[in-house]
Structure 1
Amino acid sequence: MKDLTDEEKELLSKLGQRIKELRIKKGYTNYEHFAYEHGISRTQYGSYETGENLKFLTLVKVLKGLDVSLSEFFSENF
């Protein structure tokens, strides 16, 4: 994978923060429980919340587990 720009790193960080915020709002205080219940590798999911790059289809899977649409997810300022 290519080196990321500071702007790309910042966007990934915001994406991870948003995912974590929604997970907690949904009642999952532990990211591992959420990942397990939705068929996502716990290690991989944990890296998403810390700003690692993730694939679009994986984001869709996470949002489905959170009962959040793409438009709702991106309604927050990025």
Structure 2
Amino acid sequence: MKSEEEILKAIGERLKAIRIEKGYSSYETFALDHDLGRMQYWRLEKGEANLTMRTLIRVLAIHRMTLQEFFSEGFN
């Protein structure tokens, strides 16, 4: 079983990959364009933030992605 830190890091890596896939090379630009705190979003991608479901749902809504879609890859 993965530790909490490993899970948060994997979520952050997935968020970063999706952001880049959507054409945002910079986390700062993504955060500013979507009214997210730059440092908070950076910490999410680094797996250093205590991620809440509300925050994850908000970020996934920006990407027009469901929780099921998000967790379908790489979270076995």
User: TM-score, normalising length from structure 2?
Assistant: 0.89
Deviations 1:7-64 (A, max 9, x none): 1100000000000000000111001111111111001000000002211100111111
Question: Is 1:60 the equivalent of 2:20?
Answer: no
Size of the alignment, in residue pairs? 73
The CA deviation at 1:77 is 2.5
Give aligned-pair identity as a percent.
Answer: 48
Which one of 8, 11, 14 corresponds to residue 10 of structure 2? Answer: 14
Structure 2: segments with no counterpart, 5+ residues: none
- Post-superposition, which runs of at least 4 consecutive aligned residues in structure 1 deviate over 2 A? none
Unmatched segments (≥5 aa) in structure 1:
1-5
User: Normalization by structure 1: what TM-score?
Assistant: 0.87
